[in-house]
Amino acid sequence: MEAELIYIALAALFGIFMAWGIGANDVANAMATSVGSKALTIRQAIIVAAVFEFAGAVLAGGAVTGTIRKGIVDADLMSGEPELLIYGMLASLLAAGTWLLVASRKGWPVSTTHSIVGAIVGFAAVGIGIDAVQWGKVGTIVMSWVVSPLTAGFIAFLIYLSVQRLILRHKDPLERAKRYVPVYMFLAAFTITLVTILKGLSHVGLTLSTRDAYLLAVVIALGIAVAGAFIVRRIEPDRKAEKAQHFYTVERVFGVLMIVTACGMAFAHGSNDVANAIGPLAAVISIAHTGLVSSKSAIPLWVLLIGGGGIVVGLATFGRHVIATVGEKITHLTPSRGFAAELAAATTIVIASGTGIPISTTHTLVGAVLGVGMARGIEAIDLRVVVRIFISWVVTIPAGAILAILFFFVFRAVLP
């Protein structure tokens, strides 16, 4: 009983630390386009994240958690020594959290998914044996890290081209923005609402048929689009400001839209990346309670609350460093460009979360920002910053693995 309490207390502590790291690094990525394009201030971004990241983590964080918790390590190989998996998951949380602290302090936008998967693979391969790692599952996850930025970049490229074609290249861009921005609002709201209904409500005991889910998503999205259209219609042109910046008022219209996509991005991120903190935590709790490695148990609500709360605190206390890198240094963002990147990234993340594939928000968002930059030409991108980001991505997996191996042997030596 005493050992059980020690395991759960350490897991909760390290889970909070890992969630804090996600907030400092990955949530900063998620909010960077909004802040970098000046659609939201840092304070407003923290408020949006506090509400929607938390909601995404608590309502829709369950599907991906299953992949992180049970998919990467072959539980059957540890059935005789369940404490090995406890030591490994504790080591993985502490290792990934430590690496995120270092990276966030330096302003490197690294992948929290890379960090935790690398840590789990590291402890399993060295502490238990190469055969303990489900290499097929790891291969699927690694493939998603390549596919997700390409997918998000392609979608962002198309969305921004549509913005240019429908709005920015016309003689009356403000009138056309007022006409088309509510349509973009509908698309953004529909995407996020649908995943909330299909994947989120089941975790709180509510289920709807597919037809009813789509109908409800359409109704809610229409309501948001109508409200957005009303707000957008009231925006008057600022002739003085437009002399200095031709699309000043049009970008103000997109600023309203970015608030919708920022909320969606925060929800989508919370639903996907909370798994990185609470997946290993849930595994430790399950084994500590039952003594069985392969037992399946529901994730306690307090675990989801820990994940959501830690993420918000991480962004509020340490998120500024990574926001500066992603939001301002890759390419110059305006609200229209930031919107295209955010909607593309949110769509990609929502699809991945619904299918249970733990993609990297960092890869997805950076891919989307690059897609927007490419729509304006390669010269619009600061390639030196992009190269530094890619290097930090490559370093993350071995850093997580090495730290996890060290912590694993320490825990195996000192814990009961």
| Model confidence at 214: pLDDT above 70 | yes
What is the arithmetic mean of pLDDT over 291-308?
Answer: 69
| Domain count for the chain | 1
What is the C-alpha to C-alpha distance for residues 145 and 138, in angstroms, rounded to an integer? Answer: 11
Q: Is residue 126 very low, low, confident or very high in pLDDT (cuts 50, 70, 90)?
A: confident
What is the C-alpha to C-alpha distance for residues 125 and 131, in angstroms, rounded to an integer? Answer: 7
- Given this model, what pLDDT does residue 332 score? 82
| Model confidence at 271: pLDDT above 80 | no
Higher pLDDT, 336 or 279: 336
- Given this model, what pLDDT does residue 298 score? 60
- Given this model, what pLDDT does residue 297 score? 53
What is the C-alpha to C-alpha distance for residues 185 and 189, in angstroms, rounded to an integer? Answer: 6
| Model confidence at 337: pLDDT above 50 | yes
Q: Is residue 295 very low, low, confident or very high in pLDDT (cuts 50, 70, 90)?
A: very low
What is the C-alpha to C-alpha distance for residues 416 and 404, in angstroms, rounded to an integer? Answer: 19
| Percent of the chain whose predicted confidence (pLDDT) is above 70 | 86
| Model confidence at 345: pLDDT above 90 | no
- Given this model, what pLDDT does residue 282 score? 76
Higher pLDDT, 16 or 138: 16
- Residues 98/112, Cβ–Cβ less than 8 Å: no
Give the range of the structural domain holding residue 252, as residue numbers without chain letter: 2-414
| Model confidence at 244: pLDDT above 70 | no
What is the arithmetic mean of pLDDT over 216-232?
Answer: 90
| Percent of the chain whose predicted confidence (pLDDT) is above 90 | 11
Averaged pLDDT of the chain? 81
pLDDT tens readout for residues 12-29:
899 899 989 988 988 877
Q: Is residue 42 very low, low, confident or very high in pLDDT (cuts 50, 70, 90)?
A: confident
CA gyration radius for the chain? 22
